[in-house]
Structure 1
Amino acid sequence: MGLYKLKTMDENIETGVLEKVKTDSIDYEKDFENWLENSPSVLLDDDAESTVFWIGRQVSATVGETDKYPDLIGIDASGDLVIVELKKGKTPREVVAQILEYAAWGAALKYGDLNKISQDYYRTDNSMANKSLIELYHEVFLPDNDEEVKIDFNKNQKLYIVAEQVSAIVKQVAVYLREKYGVNVYCMEYEVLKTQQEEYFISTEKIVGYDDITSSISKNKISGTSAIRWNEPIKIKTVISDAVNKITNGKETAVFTPAEVYSELIKQYPDINQSTVRCQVIQDCVNHTSRKHYPSGQRDLYFRSEKGRYRLYNAEKDGKWDWQGRRIE
C-alpha cells in the first residue's frame, strides 16, 4: 500500500499533486521512544481519549540475578502499571519472555517503590518534582476533584510490545496469553515515513489486544461506570463538544461542569465513560494546566472560569494559550 501526501501550490486542492511518502532507513528506535514518551496516548485505543503518565524510563528492573531495563513504565487512569518494550525492526521471539519478566518484576512493586521511581523520574522537572505518585495521579486524571479518592495502584500490569514489525510467532503467543491466561499484553507496530521536504509521518497499527476491548467490561474505580470501548460512528470528542454546545446554547457566558455534560450524554449513550468526558474537557480547555498531559488532538474550545467549572472559549476576550495551558503574552 502506497502513502502519498497531497502537495498544493496555491491552496487549491484541485491542482494538487501526490508526493510519495517513503520509509526512511535510518534507525528511529530511540527517536520513537522519545516521541512515545511525549505522546503516551498513542498507545491507547483511538477513541479512548485518555492517557498514561510515565514514571520511569530505562529503570533498573532486577529479575532473578540480572538487571534489565524496560523502556518506559507508567500509570494509567485505572492505576494500573503500564510497561512498554520497544524493538527496532522485527520482534525477536525472546521479546515475549522479556516482557513477562518485566511483568513479574512490576507486579511486586508496592506504592512506595512506584513513588520512589516516579520521584527519580521527575526530579529535574520543576513543575512535577517532589510530588508524590498520588498527587501526580490527581493532577493528571482528577485535577478538579476535591474529594478523597482511593486508588488501588498496580492491581494489574499492562504490557505493550511496540515494534516496526510484530512477528507471527510473537502475535500468536500474545493472543494465547491473553485468551488462555488473561495477561494484559498488547502489540503495536509503527513506521516512520519522511517526505522530500523533511516532513515526518508516523504510521501505527494496533495488532493484538485492541479489537477485543469491546467485550471486556470492567468497573472503573474513579467514576463507577462501565469502561467499554467507544463503538459509535461519530467520534467521542464530537459528541462531547456537541453536548457542551447544547447545555450552553452556544452562549459564552453560560457555565457548565463535566458532570453536567456526562448527565446529558448518558441519555443517548448509556455506556459512555465519565472519566473520558472529564479528560476530554481538560484536553480542550485552553487554560487548564493539566491539558499538557493530553497533547494529542487538542482543540481550543473551553475556558476554566474556576475549579471544576468551564465556559466557551473566546480568543479575543481570554487571550492566547499554548498546549500546556500557559498564557502566551
Structure 2
Amino acid sequence: MAVELGLWRVDDAPRRIATQAMPLEAKLERLILQDPEILEAKLLLIGSQVPTGYGKFIDILGVDSEGTLHILELKRDRTPREVVAQALDYASWVEALGNEEVRGIFEANHPDRSFDEEFAIRFDGAPVPDELNSSHVMTIVASDLDSSTERIVSYLNRTHGVPINVMIFRYFVDEGHEYLARTWLIDDAVQVLPTPASKRGTRASWNGQDWYVAFGVDGESRSWEDAAAYGFVSAGGADWYSRTLKGLPVGARIFVHVPKRGYVGVGTVLASAKPADEAVLQVNGELRNFRSLNLKAKYVHPEAGEGADSAEYVVPVEWTKQVSLDNALWREGMFANQNSACKLRNQFTIDEVSRHFNLN
C-alpha cells in the first residue's frame, strides 16, 4: 500500500496544503546534519560522506545511545534497486567496523572534539557503552517513494528480518513558510540485527590491569574519609553489591568513583575481599583488625534482613593517589556503573584520571 502523508491548515475552514518537490535532496541532508532528531531517532552523527574501503561514500553515519550504528542513505535520483543495493553494500562494510575504527571515523570528521564527551552530551550524560557496533540499522531517506522501493524494503524487513526501513519526507510551502513532515514506511520494522561481537572487536579492549570501583557514601554505612585514611574500598548490604567486589584480583589497579561526586582515588589491591568482621589492614606498619580502627561509619546493614549476605566486604588497597570528595574529578563522558566493581575499558576515563592525578 502506498504511503501518503497530508497536511491541512485549519485556521478557519480546513485547507489542504499541497505537497511540493524538495528543491534539492542535498538540502534535506544539510537539515539532518543540523538536527538529527528530524529522523526521530536520537543520534550522535559520526560523520557525513564517510569513505568506505572500496571507494564509495556513506551519506551519513550515526550512533545511538546503545552503540548501534545507523547507516543513513539518501535516495536522490537513483533507482529502487540501486539505492537498496547501495545500503546493503554499505552495511556489509559497516558490519566489520570495530570499536577503535568507529572512534577513528568520528575523530576524522571532528578532529577538535572528543567522542566520549560528545556522546555524553548527546545522550544526557550516558558514557559510551563498552560495545560499539554490536548491531547496525539501515535507513533510506527519501522525499518520494515508488512502489518498487516499498516492495523490496518491506520484503527484506518483514520476511528476512533485515533491519532496513525508509524515512519518507514530504515538503510543504505555505505563505512563504517551508515545512517538513515525516513518516516511516514500516511502523513495526525489525530495528536491529545483532552480530557476534567477538568477530569484529566491537567491544573496547581491556588492558588487563584496570578496574572500576564504585564507593557509595550515602547514609552512615560507609565513609570515604575512612577509606582514604586506612587504605581500603568496601561494598555490601546484599550479595548483588558485594559479589563483584569479591572478584577484584590482588594486584589490580582500581579507579574509585563516588556516585554523584566523581573519581577520588587510584590504588592497588593488596588482598582479596573479606567481611568487615574478619578483614585486616596494615596501618602505620601494623596489622589491625578492621573493626578496631577509629571509623567514622558503621559498615553494617541491618536493613538487609535475616538470611541475606548483608555483610560489608572490605578490600585492602595501597593508594597511589587519593583526594577528598570536594576535589573529586568528573567530566562528561566518564565511565560510571551500578556494579561495585568491573573491568575498566573506557580509555577516556583512564586517560583523564591519570592526567588529573599525575599518574605515570
Measure how far apart 1:212 and its partner are: 4.3
Aligned to 2:177: 199
- Counterpart residue identity of residue 8, structure 2: Y
Q: In the alignment, is the contact (CA less than 8 A) between 1:91 and 1:167 conserved in 2?
A: no
Aligned to 2:138: 159
Q: Does residue 1:72 correspond to 2:49, yes or no?
A: no
Aligned to 2:346: none
1:36 is matched with which residue: 26, 32, 52? 32
Aligned to 1:116: 104
- Relative to structure 1, the CA distance from residue 164 to residue 91 in structure 2 (aligned partners, 3 Å threshold; closer, same or farther) is farther
Q: After superposition, what is the alpha-carbon deviation per residue over 1:249-291, rounded to whole angstroms, capped at 9, x for unaligned?
A: xxxxxxxx9xxxxxxxxxxxxxxxxxxxxxxxxxxxxxxxx9x
- Relative to structure 1, the CA distance from residue 43 to residue 69 in structure 2 (aligned partners, 3 Å threshold; closer, same or farther) is same
Q: Does residue 1:137 correspond to 2:97, yes or no?
A: no
Supply the RMSD in Å over aligned alpha carbons.
3.0
Paired residues for 1:22-101 under 5 Å: 22-25=18-21, 27-44=23-40, 51-63=42-54, 67-88=55-76, 92-101=80-89
- Relative to structure 1, the CA distance from residue 19 to residue 169 in structure 2 (aligned partners, 3 Å threshold; closer, same or farther) is closer
Q: In the alignment, is the contact (CA less than 8 A) between 2:75 and 2:141 conserved in 1?
A: yes
Q: 1:166 aligns to what SS in structure 2?
A: coil
- Counterpart residue identity of residue 114, structure 1: V
- Counterpart residue identity of residue 172, structure 1: R
Q: 1:59 aligns to what SS in structure 2?
A: strand
- Counterpart residue identity of residue 5, structure 1: R
- Counterpart residue identity of residue 138, structure 1: A
- Counterpart residue identity of residue 211, structure 1: D
Q: In the alignment, is the contact (CA less than 8 A) between 1:23 and 1:193 conserved in 2?
A: yes
Q: 2: CA distance between counterparts of 1:194 and 1:32? A: 15
- Counterpart residue identity of residue 188, structure 1: M
- Relative to structure 1, the CA distance from residue 21 to residue 180 in structure 2 (aligned partners, 3 Å threshold; closer, same or farther) is closer
Q: Which runs of 5+ in 1 are unaligned?
A: 8-15, 45-49, 124-128, 219-256, 258-289, 291-329
1:106 is matched with which residue: 94, 111, 121? 94
Aligned to 1:173: 152
Q: Which runs of 5+ in 2 are unaligned?
A: 195-259, 261-331, 333-360
- Relative to structure 1, the CA distance from residue 137 to residue 28 in structure 2 (aligned partners, 3 Å threshold; closer, same or farther) is same
Measure how far apart 1:91 and its partner are: 5.1
Query: In the comparison of the two structures, how many residue pairs are matched?
Result: 192
Higher helix share: 1
Q: 1: CA distance between counterparts of 2:32 and 2:133? A: 21
Measure how far apart 1:159 and its partner are: 0.3
Q: 2: CA distance between counterparts of 1:27 and 1:57? A: 20
Q: 1: CA distance between counterparts of 2:156 and 2:46? A: 26
Measure how far apart 1:81 and its partner are: 0.7
